[in-house]
């Protein structure tokens, strides 16, 4: 697993606390599997979109979609 469950749990519950105060107290195990899958897919997409020039993976060389357009 690529993600850190403890840090993900903290971040998820902190965000949930902002949205629904004193309501959410735990995270289902399947959420970690989902987030890990999303991260692996993003890594695969990032590498596949990267040009073959050079030896360093860089953000500037990848033409990424604007996250706001993806919603």
Whole-angstrom CA distances from 31 to 7, 18, 40, 54, 64 are 13, 19, 14, 36, 25
pLDDT tens sequence across 5-54: 999 999 999 999 999 999 999 999 999 999 999 999 999 999 988 887 88
As a whole number of angstroms, the distance between CA 45 and CA 63 comes to 11
Residue 64 pLDDT exceeds 90: no
Cβ neighbors of 35 (< 8 A, separation 6 or more) are: 3, 8
**Is it the case that residue 62 has pLDDT exceeding 70?**
no
User: Domain residues for 23?
Assistant: 5-65
pTM: 0.74
Give pLDDT, residue 31.
97
Interatomic CA distance for residues 31 and 21, integer angstroms: 20
Q: Give the pLDDT of residue 57.
A: 86
Indicate whether 70 belongs to any domain: no
- Asked if residue 13 belongs to a domain, the reply is yes
Asked if the structure places residue 28 within a domain, the reply is yes
């Amino acid at each position: 697993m690529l993600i850190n469950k403890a840090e993900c749990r903290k971040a998820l519950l902190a965000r949930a606390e902002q949205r629904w105060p004193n309501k959410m107290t735990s995270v289902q195990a399947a959420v970690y599997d989902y987030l890990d899958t999303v991260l692996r897919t993003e890594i695969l997409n990032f590498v596949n979109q990267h040009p073959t020039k050079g030896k360093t993976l860089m953000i500037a060389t990848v033409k990424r979609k604007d996250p706001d357009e993806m919603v």
